[in-house]
Amino acid sequence: MPRRLDPPSAVDPATLTPGSPPLDEATSALVRLATVIAQGDEKLVRRVITECRAVEVPAGWVDELLLQSVLMVGYPRALIAASAWRDGGPPAPKSDPDAAYRRAEEWTPRGEETCRVVYGANYDRLRENVRNLHPALDAWMVTEGYGRTLSRPGLDLRRRELCTVAQTAVLDTPHQLHSHLRGALNAGASPAEIEETLALATAGMPARRRGRIQGLWDGVRTRRDDRAATDETSNGSADVR
């Protein structure tokens, strides 16, 4: 049975105020949409879609978020959101050459490349760990997930990872959230952008749950800062003659 979400995490989008810098208005709205898609409340999805239209979020961004949401939250919630997006909005494209299975041989190498960016130095360990769960999961993760879906044109990896951070926070999946907090940094998101994403995603959550999420982020950020300081020290020592 799917894990039940805490009711307080279904937040009225009126409480999710448009982001000030560092997230631009359109990206902030896209992250809010990712959040309510994961919550699964159709009324909230429709309200945030209205906000997205008001701030002119590119239609291609929303289409890509809907497609990648299948990976994170499953078909039922993704289909609810897609129906709300099409209702009074832009029609679906007549075709999508990038989804054609004749291009499947391209998906694996580009999936490997994207996955390596997200996981960085942990990429090889990730692949081994997932293969140990089941070889098919490893193949699907790289080819179908990172290759067919997350490497599609239409939305850059930085915004994809910010949306994934929002959805894994809502779904209360700490291992995946931890990985994608690091992945967002690896994809080029700034710490301030991630903090704003977490603020949007956790609005209305119980304090204890927000604290757990903040603790994950604090750990990721601290280790990143420590590594940067170590690298700087090492580079400085190497320059001494």
- Written as one letter, the residue type at 180 is H
- For residues 123 and 115, give the distance between their C-alpha atoms in angstroms, rounded to a whole number: 7
Average pLDDT (220-227) is 88
pLDDT recorded at residue 194? 98
Q: Who has greater pLDDT, 22 or 145?
A: 145
Average of per-residue pLDDT values in the chain: 90
pLDDT in tens, 16-34: 444 446 899 999 999 999 9
* The model's pTM: 0.87
Bond before 97 cis per omega within 30 degrees: no
- For residues 110 and 94, give the distance between their C-alpha atoms in angstroms, rounded to a whole number: 25
pLDDT recorded at residue 239? 52
pLDDT recorded at residue 233? 61
pLDDT bracket for residue 232 (50, 70, 90): low
Residue 148 has pLDDT above 90, yes or no: yes
pLDDT recorded at residue 224? 87
Are 29 and 18 in contact by the 8 Å Cβ rule? The answer is yes
Residue 7 has pLDDT above 80, yes or no: no
Of 182, 183, 167, nearest to 217 by C-alpha is 182
- Region of poorest pLDDT, from 27-31, 91-95, 136-140: 91-95
Residue 241 has pLDDT above 50, yes or no: no
Of 201, 232, 219, nearest to 34 by C-alpha is 201
pLDDT recorded at residue 18? 46
Residue count of the chain, please give it. Answer: 241
pLDDT in tens, 161-190: 999 999 999 999 999 999 999 999 999 999
Average pLDDT (127-133) is 98
pLDDT in tens, 26-64: 999 999 999 999 999 999 999 999 999 999 999 999 999
pLDDT recorded at residue 1? 37
Residue 211 has pLDDT above 90, yes or no: yes
